Amino acid sequence: MLRTSLITTALLLLTGHTCLASDTNIPVHEKRGETLYVAGQIQGYGTTEFLIDTGASYLAINQDMLKILQQGGHAKFLRKLNGTMADGRRNTVPIYSISGIVIGDNCVLSNVEAAVLPGNTRNILGLSALRRTAPFTLSMDPPALSLNGCEKPQA
Cβ atoms within 10 Å, residue 14: 8
Statement: residue 40 has pLDDT above 70: yes
Domain ranges for the chain: 24-147
Residues in the chain: 155
Statement: residue 86 has pLDDT above 80: no
Query: How does pLDDT run across 16-32, given as a tens digit for each residue?
Result: 333 333 578 899 998 87
Cβ atoms within 10 Å, residue 112: 20
CATH number of 24-147: 2.40.70.10
Of 92-96, 97-101, 118-122, 131-135, the least confident: 118-122
